[in-house]
Amino acid sequence: MKSCLGGTKKHPIIYSIVGAVSAVVVFFILGLLWWNGYLQCRGGHDPEVDSQMVTFTLKQIKVATNNFDASKKIGEGGFGPVYKGRLSDGTLIAVKQLSSKSRQGNKEFLNEMGMFSCLQHPNVVKLFGGCVEGDQLLLVYEYMENNSLANVLFKENELVLDWPTRLKICIGIARGLTFLHEESSLRIVHRDVKATNVLLDGNMNPKISDFGLARLNEDDKSHISTRIAGTVGYMAPEYALWGHLTYKADVYSFGIVLLEVVSGKSNNNFAPIGNCVCLLDWACFLLLSGKPEKMADEKLGSDVNKEEVEGIVKVALLCTSATPSLRPTMSEALGMLEGRIRIPDELPQASTYTEDLRLKAIQDLRRERQSSNSGIGGDFAESSSSQILGASLESETPGNSLY
């Protein structure tokens, strides 16, 4: 009986010791998670400046890139060069070195770091962290082995994407944009969706990159009027001509990328065929002629699924409708590509594409470029094309822009 009573006296002491040890362990684990950045994205977090970001020192990045050696340079992004690097633990990285004279200043740089380090999706390039030191503004991304989609599609190389891979890429891009528009807490309008801003990993999985031009729709407004920033040939007409920005502007750009993936041709370097001055016009012509399968890349030969080609062309033309309200949302476009949503047999406004404002803008721009290339009024042509589109815009070449 005494031993029983004695045992009961010891229990509170044991419980106290166990409780204290457990508390220490829990706080230790929470500390480790916080230190490694796992507890940074929570309610009440201010995306404007994330002081809990993973921060790299300039010394770390210089070691990783061999002091930004020219042999490590893998591309030129919208704001500066991109270098391949390797961290001390063996992790491969891509370092975007932003120009100190870039229009994107320190505040915008911190915005990008704070917002995008929290984004986690299989079809969005992971931002590991960054560095602000001296005059250096650096972003550190996961490394993508197969470069950009534009590089694979438009450059002469041994890598030819088969049809199943192209379909996988189309669906993957749609999933990434659906996440940015509708699933991410940030609700991001990318504003510069294009083939050079889609990177491919070792398994040819697409990941959307370069959010340097993205903005948050913080007030949940239907559109955002802002300074136009994007790439000629991918921008929706209402955005290029009047600065009217909605999520549907990204949908339009996605439609152009779909046509490029199917055809293997760049919209901006499309050689006119008859009255068709751009890839979009050519796609519409083929669909109206009952020959949408001819849109498929000649490199594929007969190794294509004609029904799938026709389906993607139809989705692309829906996405590039002149009227934003007629375009599907990204989740609807994804559903069509995956076969969960029926693709309409009749496409709205298909017969009026050649009279569309977007084609007029492209025709005007093409004439100005031809004028510039012929050496007649070169300076005027450059400034005039900007006036046509209502802004100073970035031109696009297949090898340009990474991350």
Q: Distance between CA 129 and CA 149 in Å, rounded?
A: 24
Q: Which of these is catalytic: 69, 162, 192, 219?
A: 192
Partnered with residue 352 across adjacent β-strands are none
pLDDT score of 48: 37
- Domain 54-142 matches domain 147-361 at the CATH topology level: no
Residue type, 137: L
Rounded to two decimals, the pTM is 0.74
pLDDT score of 352: 43
What digits encode the pLDDT tens for the residues 168-208?
Answer: 999 999 999 999 999 988 888 898 999 999 999 999 999 99
- What is the Cα 21 distance to its own chain's centre? 47
pLDDT score of 231: 84
Note down pLDDT in tens along the chain; length 403 residues. 444 444 455 566 776 776 776 776 666 666 655 554 444 444 333 343 344 467 899 999 999 999 999 999 998 866 689 999 999 999 999 999 876 555 455 656 666 666 677 888 999 999 888 888 877 888 899 999 999 999 999 988 778 899 999 999 999 999 999 999 999 888 888 989 999 999 999 999 999 998 654 543 334 445 444 456 678 889 999 888 888 889 999 999 999 999 999 999 999 888 888 888 889 999 999 999 999 999 999 999 888 999 999 999 999 999 999 889 999 999 999 999 999 999 998 877 544 444 555 555 555 555 555 665 555 444 333 333 333 333 334 445 444 556 6
Residue type, 402: L
Please report, for the chain, the start and end positions of each structural domain, with discontinuous segments joined by +.
54-142, 147-361
Q: Is 192 a catalytic residue?
A: yes
Q: Distance between CA 142 and CA 116 in Å, rounded?
A: 13
What digits encode the pLDDT tens for the residues 58-112?
Answer: 999 999 999 999 999 998 866 689 999 999 999 999 999 876 555 455 656 666 6
CATH pick for 147-361 out of 3.30.830.10, 3.40.30.10, 3.90.580.10, 1.10.510.10: 1.10.510.10
- What is the Cα 124 distance to its own chain's centre? 7
* CB distance 361 to 240 below 8 Å: yes
pLDDT score of 279: 93
To the question of domain 54-142 being in CATH 3.80.10.10, the answer is no
Q: Distance between CA 54 and CA 37 in Å, rounded?
A: 7
**In sequence order, which residues have a C-beta less than 8 Å from that of residue 263 and are 6 or more positions away?**
279, 283, 295, 296, 297
pLDDT score of 32: 58
